[in-house]
Amino acid sequence: MDKVEQVANGLRELLNKKSLLNNFKMKDSLKGFKSSEVHCIEYIGENVDSNVTKLAESFYMTRSATSKITQKLMKKGMIESYQKSDNEKKIYFRLTEEGEAIYKIHYDLHKEFQERDKTVFEQVTDEQFEMILDLVEKYSKHLDDEIKKLGVALTNRNDFE
């Protein structure tokens, strides 16, 4: 197995593990909310004039699925929609007070996770971070180029390895 493979596999395991652990902690504080709902609240809390399309793009999800999540959050009273006079098709969302409360809980939990994992990253130098970030960006650009080569809109899901 070459080094790239090794990193990729380690990373996959790492991310799985992290999501298992964080999810476990998460559920205590945020019972009754799916992770996707919390994610959605987070995004809306941080981006003014969020709409289904923007959310979907950010989550790498279909608009269809995203629409269902926002509908649920509306029913739960976590978010509310509004429109603008210059466009009567776009539907924007903002957090309600209850939504803000959830946002805050999630935010704090996030901080808690950061604190928990701090020690691991303290040993990493700035140059090393730059190097990693640079690599990630280069790879991302490379994939963008490859996607362009296809000349197709990739709306497909399926997490193939």
Partner DNA sequence: GTGATTATGTTGCCTAGGAAACATAATCAC
Partner DNA sequence: GTGATTATGTTTCCTAGGCAACATAATCAC
What are the residues binding DNA (CB under 7 A)?
34, 36, 51-54, 60-65, 67-71, 86-92, 155-158
By the rule CB under 8 A, 157 interacts with a copy of itself? yes
Can residue 28 be called a binding residue for a copy of itself (CB under 8 A)? no
- Alpha-carbon separation of residue 110 from 10, 26, 116, 134 (angstroms): 23, 9, 10, 25
The yes or no reply on residue 140 touching a copy of itself (CB under 8 A) is yes
144 binds, among a copy of itself, DNA, none (CB under 5 to 8 A by kind): a copy of itself
Q: Is 1 in the site for a copy of itself (CB under 8 A)?
A: no
Q: How far is the CB of 48 from a copy of itself (least distance, A)?
A: 17
> Which class for 109: exposed (0-12), middle (13-18), buried (19 or more C-beta within 10 A)?
middle
137 binds a copy of itself (CB under 8 A): yes
Q: Which helix (H) or strand (E) holds 50?
A: strand 50-51
Closest CA to 109 of 27, 46, 48, 37: 27
Q: Please report whether residue 21 would count as binding a copy of itself according to CB under 8 A.
A: yes
| Listed residue (99, 106, 101) closest to 23, CA to CA | 106
Shortest approach of DNA to residue 147 CB, angstroms?
15
Residue 27 main-chain phi, psi, to 5 deg: -65, -25
Start-end of H helices in 51-124: 52-59, 63-75, 97-122
Binding site for a copy of itself (CB under 8 A): 2-4, 6-7, 10-11, 13-24, 26-27, 34-35, 38-39, 60, 110, 114, 116-117, 119-121, 123-124, 126, 128-129, 131-133, 135-140, 142-144, 146-147, 150, 152, 154, 156-161
